Amino acid sequence: MSRIGKREIELPSGVSVEVAPEAVTVVGPKGQLSTPTHPKIVYAVEGNLVRVSRVDDTRIARAQHGLRRTLLANLVEGVSKGFTKTLEVIGVGYKVSAAPGSVTLAVGYSHPVDFKLPDGIEAKVEGNKLTLSGIDKALVGETAARIRRVRPPEPFKGKGIKYDTETIRRKAGKSGGKK
């Protein structure tokens, strides 16, 4: 049995789960999300608990068991609390500013880079920190990764865009004066 799959999902107050043959929909105070179902996985809603179980012990069913439970747990957490990712812009003259629906990055190129945010993602800037928030965990993570790709951190001076929890492995520069 999957260790993750057999754990129950507790629904916070104000969150409801609707199971349909093709998708599971979660509605909460922050919005509504849905994820597709799998024919080998069964969802059971009992009061404020949701149990995910599998029909049989085939390889596909075992593989999907923990995955579908985690996807559902992420939806429940997203519509109740939401998700955030924080990026740091490090470098002399590097700046970030946010407007509704877009982020403007000045990160050493000859022009500022305008990054259009997808629907459902909000950006907030405090100094050199950019905080992305939204209810869809995958969308928040993908948006943060795309912004980081504009100027990834380099190992010599550490300049670039990095996650706040990320540590950059630094390299020694050139050793000078060899004849």
- Taking domain 9-80, whether its CATH number is 3.90.930.12 is answered by yes
pLDDT band at 1 (very low <50, low <70, confident <90, very high): low
Query: Residue 45: what pLDDT?
Result: 94
Please name the CATH architecture into which domain 83-163 falls: Alpha-Beta Complex (3.90)
Tokens at 114, concatenated = 């305008």
Whole-number Å distance between alpha carbons of 20 and 33:
13
- pLDDT, one tens digit per residue, over 23-70 is 999 999 999 999 999 999 999 999 899 999 999 999 999 999 999 999
pLDDT, mean of residues 103-107: 95
Q: Where are the domain boundaries for CATH 3.90.930.12 in the chain?
A: 9-80, 83-163
Residues in the chain, how many?
A: 179
To the nearest whole number, what is the mean pLDDT of the chain? 93
pLDDT, mean of residues 72-85: 96
Phi/psi of residue 31, nearest 5 degrees: 155, -160
State yes or no: pLDDT of 175 exceeds 80: no
pLDDT, mean of residues 146-159: 94
Phi/psi of residue 106, nearest 5 degrees: -110, 95
In the chain the first and final C-alpha atoms are separated, in Å, by 65
pLDDT band at 178 (very low <50, low <70, confident <90, very high): low
- pLDDT, one tens digit per residue, over 158-168 is 999 999 999 99
